[in-house]
Amino acid sequence: MQPRERVLRALAHKEVDTIPHWDDFSSAEAEILFLGEKYRKSSWLEKKIFISNLLDTDIVWVPLVSYGFSFEDTQIFCETIYEGDDYALIKDPFGGLHYCRKRPYFTRTLINPIKEKGDLEKLEKVDVERFEAKIKSFSENIQKLHDMDYFILVEIKGPFAATWMFLRGLYPFLIDVIKDTDFAKRLVERSFKPIMEIVNIATKNWSIDGVRVCDDLGDQKNPFFHIEKYRTLFKPWHSKIVEMLHEKGVKVFLHSHGNVMSFFQDFIEAGFDCIDPLDPTDNMDLSKLKETYGQKVALMGGVSKNIGIMSTEEIVDHLRDRLLTGGPTGYILHCAGGIPPEMSLEKFNVYINTIKKYRNKQGRHI
């Protein structure tokens, strides 16, 4: 069974030859520590192929609307205006400026264009058509990956994440969500509508199997806001992009860190095909989710972002538990935080070898 078929069958809750797997490195810092400058200086296509082979993954991740991980990937939506050995400065098309440090890795927004209500009226509209040439420049490489039978998963920011990242800032926007719903609605439309248009352009030029909508909606204890706020402000846009992409035959994933157990039924009602990353450190209970929703939506993740500081024995036990709990159908193995920089090479080898051994449905019962 080829990777794309394996993932599609998992999304359809059908039997697979081996549980699908997707991993990547958590940051530029992790890439540098594990792979070095030869990898970093290689072409985008060669890096994608190398990572897929190294990590034995079925999915190739293609950032479309993002910033701050691998800086060359941000050239579609954002512009890297400076990159040095230690950090990069990135400008988004709304006028925001972002600082991305490589080692230690973190990102910080330096400028958000919306400081007060009046700024929204002054904000220039994003010229969506200017992205078409950039998108087309990736078409050949993405087609090559598609021809290799990988499942192509394109990533964008969702209506919550895009609004606070590109327009308003997290805390001011959360205040808007709570105190000024009408203004929050206008902000969300202004940020996410052009992103939907960019996705539409990408679907016309790329061989896409899935789109991952990234919207971290909570912290380790709770969602950031009441379920009614989600239903009013963000669920309609989630439903719109799902409907748009389903009409094109594209699967839609929702990525949300945080304890969003209480939102799960609404995510399913919005039409998502798969939800991730289900991080146990966010108090996401994979067993309960599988029991309650496992026949309604595919689940991806469940592997702790703290995998790098576990002992080798804990890594083996954790991965076996995740595979037994999530599988054998409707599940994709995935680490919530990616391969972290603090993971030793010994533990990395244990992690990869354990996945190879136990994700096979026979091997899981050894």
Query: So what's the pLDDT on residue 366?
Result: 47
Reply yes or no on whether the pLDDT at 96 is more than 60. Answer: yes
**Residue 95 forms part of a structural domain:** no
Q: What's the order of all strands across the beta sheet hosting 210-214?
A: 21-22, 331-334, 298-300, 274-276, 251-255, 210-214, 151-157, 59-63
User: Please, what's the b/e burial string for 33-64 (b: 16 or more CB within 10 A of its CB; e: otherwise)?
Assistant: bbbeeebeeeeeeebbbebbebbebbbbbbbb
φ, ψ (nearest 5 deg) of residue 154:
-90, 135
17: phi > 0 → left, psi -120 to 50 → alpha, else beta; which? Answer: alpha
With CA atoms as reference, report the closest residue to 161 among 254, 286, 252.
254
Condensed to tens digits (0 to 9), the pLDDT of residues 7-24 reads: 999 999 999 999 999 999
Give the pLDDT band of residue 103 (cuts 50, 70, 90). Answer: confident
With CA atoms as reference, report the closest residue to 174 among 162, 164, 187.
164
Reply yes or no on whether the pLDDT at 74 is more than 80. Answer: no
**Residue 169 forms part of a structural domain:** yes
Reply yes or no on whether the pLDDT at 64 is more than 90. Answer: yes
Which of residues 360 and 218 earns the better pLDDT score?
Answer: 218
Distances (CA, A) of 25 to 59, 138, 345: 13, 21, 13
Q: Measured in Å, how far apart are the chain's first and last C-alpha atoms?
A: 22
Give the pLDDT band of residue 128 (cuts 50, 70, 90). Answer: very high
**Residue 97 forms part of a structural domain:** no
Q: Which range (41-50, 265-274, 288-297) has the least confidence? A: 41-50
Distances (CA, A) of 160 to 62, 77, 108, 141, 289: 20, 17, 17, 30, 23
* Host H or E run for residue 107: strand 106-111
Give the pLDDT band of residue 67 (cuts 50, 70, 90). Answer: confident
Which of residues 30 and 366 earns the better pLDDT score?
Answer: 30
**Residue 103 forms part of a structural domain:** no
Give the pLDDT band of residue 71 (cuts 50, 70, 90). Answer: very low
Reply yes or no on whether the pLDDT at 109 is more than 70. Answer: yes
Mean residue pLDDT across the chain: 93
With CA atoms as reference, report the closest residue to 314 among 325, 324, 303.
303
Query: So what's the pLDDT on residue 69?
Result: 54
Give the pLDDT band of residue 365 (cuts 50, 70, 90). Answer: low
**Residue 296 forms part of a structural domain:** yes
Q: Domain holding 253: CATH number? A: 3.20.20.210
Query: So what's the pLDDT on residue 72?
Result: 53
Query: So what's the pLDDT on residue 73?
Result: 52
Q: Which residues pair with 79 in a beta bridge?
A: 91
Condensed to tens digits (0 to 9), the pLDDT of residues 305-357 reads: 999 999 999 999 999 999 999 999 999 999 998 999 999 999 999 999 999 99
Reply yes or no on whether the pLDDT at 59 is more than 50. Answer: yes
Condensed to tens digits (0 to 9), the pLDDT of residues 180-226 reads: 999 999 999 999 999 999 999 999 999 999 999 999 999 999 999 99
Q: Which domain holds residue 212?
A: 3-76+117-365
How many domains is the chain partitioned into structurally?
1
Query: So what's the pLDDT on residue 208?
Result: 97
**Residue 99 forms part of a structural domain:** no
Reply yes or no on whether the pLDDT at 362 is more than 60. Answer: no
Condensed to tens digits (0 to 9), the pLDDT of residues 218-247 reads: 999 999 999 999 999 999 999 999 999 999
CA 304 to chain centre: 15
Query: So what's the pLDDT on residue 131?
Result: 94
302, 278 contact by CB (below 8 A): yes
The pLDDT of 129-151, averaged and rounded, is 95
Angle (nearest 5°) at CA 27 between 159 and 284: 55
Query: So what's the pLDDT on residue 86?
Result: 86
Reply yes or no on whether the pLDDT at 271 is more than 80. Answer: yes
66: exposed, middle or buried (Cβ count in 10 Å: 0-12, 13-18, 19+):
buried
Query: Helix (H, G, I), strand (E, B), or coil: what is residue 99?
Result: strand
Query: So what's the pLDDT on residue 94?
Result: 96
76, 63 contact by CB (below 8 A): yes
